[in-house]
Structure 1
Amino acid sequence: MHDIDLNLLKALDALLAERSVTRAAHRLGLSVSAMSRSLTRLRNVTNDPLLVQAGRHLALTPYALELTERVNETTRNAYALLQPAQKLLNLATLERTFTLRVNERFIDLVANALAAELQKHAPRVRLSFVGKYDKDAQPLRDGIIDLELGVLGTRAPEMKTRMLFHDRFVGICGNNHPLLQEPGITAERYASYQHVVVSRKNNLYGPVDTALARQGLKRQISMVVPGFANAINIVRHSDLIGLVTLSSLGCSLIDTEQSGLTHFELPVVTPIIKISAIWHPRQHDSPEHRWLRETVFSVFQRKHNCPTT
């Protein structure tokens, strides 16, 4: 293999990821001129320009776009082959920060149990929770996010997933709301009151509205908020009806006397919500990441009052 230079593979991976000769050089600890020479060699080897000028920036050619994921995976495999054999995982001495992307209600749901697991088994491990403002797969691909919890919304086919539990939508209202004064909550009565809906993207309508529309009904929406905690607090202090997930209520029947809220089954059928753990294949065989995944899964399973499959 005297005619194959694996350093070019490393340079190509950096160039495709950074889309900049300067940033790729910085990433690999090389001079800009050295990276420019590597790009010239890569263009000769592939017979493709790979990076072309697009205004003040560089853009990938179609062939370079096609190569991106394959090159990244091949580079990781090459590194793995040339690394020392994996040592046994020692949780007592493991010092690492894992970043988890979740919505705020999942933090309330599992953070205490995870903290207890860390204190008991891995006292030097840190968990950093970041908000789930979108479902972009790139942070998982780049290693910025180690694990995501929630609904699988990415089109990235390479992602690994594991089902945690099934969730569902329920309605909430104040204990003295007129909706509760008559037996049986019909779709007509449900739709006739003012509602608050939850949407990170400011969408007014969702699965409940689709189901109501089949019956010729439409909700009166008065307010849109970004999180379930917002909706719960608003409903507690108003006559609005809220739509939340069961897990956002703590996966248990809320204490109606203390909370001032009542939750009820919807008068229409909505799809089951599948909550999963999501991670990138590069983390799949890591003993440290495998321990994190198993710990998260076991914590959800021990939540005996959570919705389960």
Structure 2
Amino acid sequence: MSDQLDLNLLRVFDALLQEGSVTAASERLHLSIPATSRALSRLRRAMNDPILVRAGRAMAPTPFALRAAPRVRSLLDEAAALISTDRAVTLAELKRTFTIRINDGVAATLVTAVVEATAAHAPGVTLRFVSEGSESMEALRDGSVDLDIGAGEVSAPDIRTAVLYREHMVGLVRADSPLGVHRRPTLPQLCRYPHVSASRRGRTRGPLDDALDAAGLRRHVAAVVPTFAVAALLVSSSSYVGLVPARLAEQYGVTLGLRWFPIAAPLPEIEVRLLWHARLDADPAQRWLRDTIRDALGEPGDGPGPMADALLSSV
């Protein structure tokens, strides 16, 4: 007869999957190793699966355990939210890992500030940032992702969303590029130089190409890279023109020896949004983290900030 699953067993399951060993899981749960081993035996009987199997000197989760892990994490989060709703969070004592799926262009300008702000108040919190691979909302629903930060709109009734800021794309060149002497290069001037495109899907076209088509112009995309950060590095060591988020150019342009400029075309504004599942809407710990992320951004503006003005006035 299968053991009945209870919340304590699910906590053991979650710890075993995160730690990958009985010893590490016992330390995480403040249990003895024999007690954790007995709990694993109960889990194996209840779930009719080995959960963890020997792989050389380590333990590896079974396919079933990997599939079940996000749902177990989701159940534990819901239980925690039920118990802690309307209760104050003691940040200094908070022990929790938050998984945040984030767009690379946003990560480059946000991660450092968010990690520092979190560590200053909740040193026991771990922020686990993962890159976009799929924008599926199922990761928020099953608990494998706690927060999603990126562009785009979502119209699902169980997904909560808030605009973090609005972003503009700007042109980026080396400081010694002939194009850099122009305060606002024209589209024909922009097309005289090879371009690097940032697209994790390998796309060479974007809104800029639509604007160029309307003007009877075409650019030459000489390279396609997966992230904006790589595009900026490539631009810093070549004659290429890059198109990157304004915040990224503003924060790293001077350090990388780059100049940036507005694009002489009506490119669409990008809304960067924060998304989470409705079950965590009232969870005090996650609510605090969402507020921390907003505060780390400061006051979002509609365009370039003071550093941007300094860069433009220096040419």
Specify if TM > 0.5.
Answer: yes
Residue in structure 1 matched with residue 259 of structure 2 by the alignment: 262
Pairs within 5 Å for 1:91-106 = 91-106=91-106
Pairs within 5 Å for 1:145-156 = 145-152=145-152, 154=154, 156=156
Following the alignment from structure 2 to structure 1, what is the Cα–Cα distance between the partners of residues 101 and 239? Answer: 33
Superimposed CA distance per residue, residues 216-252 of structure 1 (whole angstroms, 9 cap, x where no aligned partner): 1111111100011111111111111111111222x44
Q: 1:91 to 1:238 in 2, by over 3 A?
A: same
Larger radius of gyration: 1
Superimposed CA distance per residue, residues 173-228 of structure 1 (whole angstroms, 9 cap, x where no aligned partner): 12232324567521112123211111011111001001111111111111100011
Residue in structure 1 matched with residue 270 of structure 2 by the alignment: 273
Identity %: 31
Residue in structure 1 matched with residue 56 of structure 2 by the alignment: none
Pairs within 5 Å for 1:16-165 = 29=46, 86=85, 87-152=87-152, 154=154, 156-165=156-165
What SS class does the counterpart of residue 191 from structure 2 fall into?
helix
Residue in structure 1 matched with residue 225 of structure 2 by the alignment: 225
Q: 1:182 to 1:272 in 2, by over 3 A?
A: closer
- Segments of 5+ residues of structure 2 without an aligned counterpart are 5-42, 50-70, 306-315
Mean CA deviation greater in 122-131 or 104-113: 104-113
TM-score (norm 2): 0.66
Q: 1:28 to 1:301 in 2, by over 3 A?
A: farther
Following the alignment from structure 1 to structure 2, what is the Cα–Cα distance between the partners of residues 155 and 141? Answer: 14
Superimposed CA distance per residue, residues 3-36 of structure 1 (whole angstroms, 9 cap, x where no aligned partner): xxxx9xxxxxxxxxxxxxxxxxx8993569xxxx
- Segments of 5+ residues of structure 1 without an aligned counterpart are 1-6, 8-25, 33-71
Following the alignment from structure 2 to structure 1, what is the Cα–Cα distance between the partners of residues 280 and 44? Answer: 21
CA drift of 1:160 comes to 0.9
What SS class does the counterpart of residue 92 from structure 1 fall into?
helix
Kept in 2, the 8 Å contact 1:207–1:271? The answer is: yes
Aligned length: 236
Residue in structure 1 matched with residue 234 of structure 2 by the alignment: 234
Q: 1:242 to 1:120 in 2, by over 3 A?
A: closer
Q: 1:28 to 1:285 in 2, by over 3 A?
A: farther
Moved over 6 A (4+): 303-306
Following the alignment from structure 2 to structure 1, what is the Cα–Cα distance between the partners of residues 173 and 153? Answer: 29
What SS class does the counterpart of residue 91 from structure 2 fall into?
coil
